[in-house]
Structure 1
């Protein structure tokens, strides 16, 4: 079960942004951990601390193609007086049964191969008469070692220090070190580390499955012809993309017509693959706001507290909102307004934190900062509402993008921040220090 019952406060209660968000976060619970193969765990949140069982690298190895040597044997090497060493064999990556390098000897070694006993450093092949064309040996006659190498000789034209071109055992991580902390989101570098220390599976909280559904008989899919009074459905695309950006596995459902029975059936059909349901449209006071009507009958009658409560929030845009749980598993559902900007702002403020909570993260919010408002004129805001305006943030300043209209999708596409105007402010002058929510 992923949710508890939402708090009941009555339909006439005017919710603040903080109250609504607190109710959501107090209700939504992290998903239960599961064991996944590494690639299936990408994007998931690690449940346990991971300790390194074996040092990386697990043995001293060469960082270059060259020759494993004793430092004393090449101490005086120069172009005029090269050190001449007997080549006793080859050491390849993954090779077992290492050669023993003694005085006056060298072993040809490949990148990643174990440093053989007796050797103290690696001379790059470019410093020898096996190298071609660069450095102090440029122009010298090159000689390739015979494939069997043993019995041949190599001339070394530079001295080298102890441990030169050697990757030390445990120089990356030591056995017993903590490799990853619980709560880490597993991206490609983290998965690489897990594989490198021998972990084939890992215990994580799975990525939440989020179903996004837009409502409205006026909505038409992109690439279809528009008839009179119709518009393209952009909300479901925007919110599905936003859910994926937040870390979810998101499923987009095509726009559902303004019919309560059709919508109810569509929602019930989607519950089987949803850890979270998101609808957009049909939550205000219009005659065709069917989301309210449909969801009023989706609650599980045998589960007290299930159902969706529709609320008015002291915010702009996004005053009408719905939140609750539906179905036998108490799947959380957030019902967002239908205007494009309203739905997107609502997603950032409420749905994204819910998704991150389901993932098991503790820091679920977008980062915020303070910035100086740059604008041609003061910003106005309705008293008693927290307003979120689109903006562009750069170098400690933020500039409004577009107007306050909740239908301005083009302005939203140019924004990378939300300018927050608090409830007690009716005007914000240019040059004022304001709170900014960073969306990038």
Structure 2
């Protein structure tokens, strides 16, 4: 029935593995979003770097409550002289016994203080125009963020391979780190092929269609953090495609084509690469069966089918999981098991990949299995993967779902 999806994915992994071993690249935080760390990130300082207040309130010494009688069920209350206020960013003086210091959220706890009492629990409950304030007793550590309670200096806070999202970049910034070592994103040349293609925005001639693949695949790659550039060879002349690929091989880490890999009489990609280290196969997958893999001018090459949905499914099912494994970015798709809203049929011996939408805890198929249904693709937020040995699934049957 054709090459298995797992076998072809393994071939892609072997093809791209050397690229994952390249030297790291140092990038600023502003330029590292979506990339993966190349080395463990070690905290140069602790977070918080000093004991600070979790609340707007009064910093106190809890020992000052010892020996004071209990006024009510809330415990002892006593009157304090009000010390100088402590705003965030200030280095406060030591807190002497019998005093309470107004302190703002995030401000450094003064030496001697070991707790913060929220201002709303004070009598009177304010900061302004106070010489004295009456406060209830609290336990040591109340509303205090201890130094290092979040991150200890010297600890590995992000492991190599971690994808750098906003939270990870924020952590690095909070630790004072301006540049991080990352796995450099692949530079990918995406080349659409076919004499029938017209550029978006151009009027269609007889028998022409607009080129969706270049936009679709390059956008998917860029969204995943790769440096993708799209081009098109709008002819079926093998020499035209070969010239474009040879030019792209001068700068790209990966060459990708869409179209020309099936069994037709004018398969330009097959003809252009007949003398190169490229193999063409038909996978046991629907859509996305025809595939090419190898090297052109020493540069890794992948040939995807020309139908838009086949092209996109090839990216999601074959290439994206390999990049997530080898490079740590893009993030792997989240996978769930959910019940089908309606029954489906699937061809025997093929992995069928259907577009779908998750709705109320069930998965609803969008459109049919056809490889040309761009409208259905645009209306989907999930993929349903039906195994090779399954031909019929009733409504309510559990299926593997990849969230997009």
TM value normalised by structure 1: 0.78
- Supply the distance in 1 between the matched residues of 2:183 and 2:325 (Cα, whole angstroms): 11
Counterpart residue number, 2:239: 261
Query: What is the DSSP-based 3-state SS (H/G/I as helix, E as strand, rest coil) of the residue aligned with 2:231?
Result: strand
- Residue 387 (structure 1) aligned with residue 378 (structure 2): no
Unaligned runs of 5+ in 1: 1-12, 130-135, 146-151, 300-306
Q: Any idea what the Cα deviations from partners look like across 1:388-427, whole Å, max 9, x if unmatched?
A: 23333456644432222221111222333333344444x3
Cα displacement (A) at 1:334: 0.9
Match of 1:311 among 281, 294, 302: 281
Distance change (3 Å), C-alpha of 1:272 and 1:158 = farther
- Supply the distance in 2 between the matched residues of 1:368 and 1:127 (Cα, whole angstroms): 48
- Supply the distance in 1 between the matched residues of 2:372 and 2:240 (Cα, whole angstroms): 26
Cα displacement (A) at 1:435: 4.2
Q: How does 1:112-261 map to 2 (within 5 A)?
A: 112-127=106-121, 137=125, 144-145=128-129, 153-156=131-134, 158-254=136-232, 256-261=234-239
Q: Any idea what the Cα deviations from partners look like across 1:243-267, whole Å, max 9, x if unmatched?
A: 2343323222246433323322222
Counterpart residue number, 2:300: 332
- Supply the distance in 1 between the matched residues of 2:71 and 2:90 (Cα, whole angstroms): 29
Cα displacement (A) at 1:365: 5.6
- Supply the distance in 1 between the matched residues of 2:305 and 2:332 (Cα, whole angstroms): 21
Query: What is the DSSP-based 3-state SS (H/G/I as helix, E as strand, rest coil) of the residue aligned with 2:310?
Result: helix
Counterpart residue number, 1:50: 41
* 8 Å contact from structure 2 (residues 345, 393) kept in 1: yes
Match of 2:50 among 45, 59, 72: 59
Query: What is the DSSP-based 3-state SS (H/G/I as helix, E as strand, rest coil) of the residue aligned with 1:24?
Result: helix
Q: How many residues align?
A: 395
Cα displacement (A) at 1:173: 1.9
Cα displacement (A) at 1:160: 4.1
TM-align CA RMSD: 3.2
Counterpart residue number, 2:383: 418
- Supply the distance in 1 between the matched residues of 2:280 and 2:214 (Cα, whole angstroms): 20
- Residue 95 (structure 1) aligned with residue 90 (structure 2): yes
Counterpart residue number, 1:16: 4
Distance change (3 Å), C-alpha of 1:100 and 1:416 = closer
Unaligned runs of 5+ in 2: none
Distance change (3 Å), C-alpha of 1:216 and 1:156 = farther
